[in-house]
Structure 1
């Protein structure tokens, strides 16, 4: 993606944390000669000292069949975003949009059924952490687990990661602080999250 140098984020720890916190991504590839996108949760894991993304889609999804002949994929993870009014500056300028996003490029490798079950265990365990009565895949009935035969599970061998953190870095401290203040006044969740990110980026 196009990222002006001032907005480029190369902090690996930040990028990993961002993916963990915004794991519901968009998986894109070429399917039957057209761009195809599926919205799915993806887990960032380590395997053989390399990072991979793990996920699954329905066997009925045409994208699943396309993995056999076209393994190049792009996973997009989006974070907080908000409109920035130019009325918040002490000078005339154009309005803009602040946002955080990560693009992960890689190659799909399909799982066996046994690997699919293990991947499901990891996914469910991850998202059940905050549950009062967490569900465990290994405790599900044989009848329920038949559903696992209806998915295509995979891992993505990561070849490139691009991360953008557009947080008004081109503004001086006075305008930067005023943008944060105005974002907080909106009482909108996305805007407040952007203000928090701005505070963290320039304490």
Structure 2
């Protein structure tokens, strides 16, 4: 990902926190030089010095078998906003877009069917809807086994993490204030989120 120095996330932890907040991401692989993508929810975990991403495919998805021991890219991105040149001090400016994104590269490996897959599902339920965990635990075992037979669980150990926050860092203080004021008044939640991220950089 092209990242000018002033657009970099300040540190890895900031990037990890962003990934955990916007954890519905896109996993991309290549099949005979053709990009293939699937949209999945992820768990983002830190194990000592390792960053690990966990999720699962539908077993019928051909990409489930294409990730084994191959390089993969997972893209995390969510809030973004159109930036009008009306926010700038001079007329000789053009529109742009502000956004945040994290690209995580790594190698994927499959989790074993049975306990490892069940453990991942329990963690994902606890992360996304903890109140459902008791209901899941009380479901008949044969039903849960059938559900788990329809998925392929996997993990990715990240070996390259690239984070970009394009938030008008190259504009003047007045222009940044204009953009924040404009976006914070918007009824679009993504635009108001960008305003909040910009305010944090002050």
Q: Same fold (TM over 0.5)?
A: yes
TM-score (ref. length: structure 1):
0.92
Whole-Å separation in 2 of the counterparts to 1:179 and 1:20: 26
Tell me by how many angstroms 1:48 deviates.
Answer: 5.3
- Do the aligned residues in 2 keep the contact of 1:78 with 1:100 (CA within 8 Å)? yes
Corresponding residue for 1:128? 129
SS at match of 1:61: coil
Corresponding residue for 1:76? 75
TM-score (ref. length: structure 2):
0.92
Q: Deviations over 1:151-189 (max 9, x none)?
A: 110100111000000000011111110111111232211
- RMSD value over aligned CA atoms? 1.5
Q: Does 1:62 align with 2:65?
A: no
Tell me by how many angstroms 1:8 deviates.
Answer: 1.2
- Do the aligned residues in 1 keep the contact of 2:122 with 2:133 (CA within 8 Å)? no
- When residues 90 and 33 of structure 1 are mapped into structure 2, their CA distance, relative to the original with a 3 A threshold, is closer
Q: Does 1:142 align with 2:154?
A: no
- Tell me, which stretches of 5 or more residues in structure 2 are unaligned? none
SS at match of 2:133: coil
Tell me by how many angstroms 1:143 deviates.
Answer: 3.1
Tell me by how many angstroms 1:49 deviates.
Answer: 4.0
1:110-125 matched pairs, under 5 angstroms: 110-113=110-113, 114-125=115-126
1:159-174 matched pairs, under 5 angstroms: 159-174=159-174
- Do the aligned residues in 2 keep the contact of 1:183 with 1:191 (CA within 8 Å)? yes
Whole-Å separation in 2 of the counterparts to 1:32 and 1:61: 17
- When residues 48 and 87 of structure 1 are mapped into structure 2, their CA distance, relative to the original with a 3 A threshold, is closer
- When residues 48 and 190 of structure 1 are mapped into structure 2, their CA distance, relative to the original with a 3 A threshold, is closer
SS at match of 1:60: coil
Whole-Å separation in 2 of the counterparts to 1:5 and 1:157: 25
4+ residue runs of structure 1 moved beyond 3 angstroms? none
Whole-Å separation in 2 of the counterparts to 1:163 and 1:49: 18
The total of aligned residue pairs comes to: 198
Whole-Å separation in 1 of the counterparts to 2:95 and 2:32: 39
SS at match of 1:135: helix
Q: Does 1:24 align with 2:15?
A: no
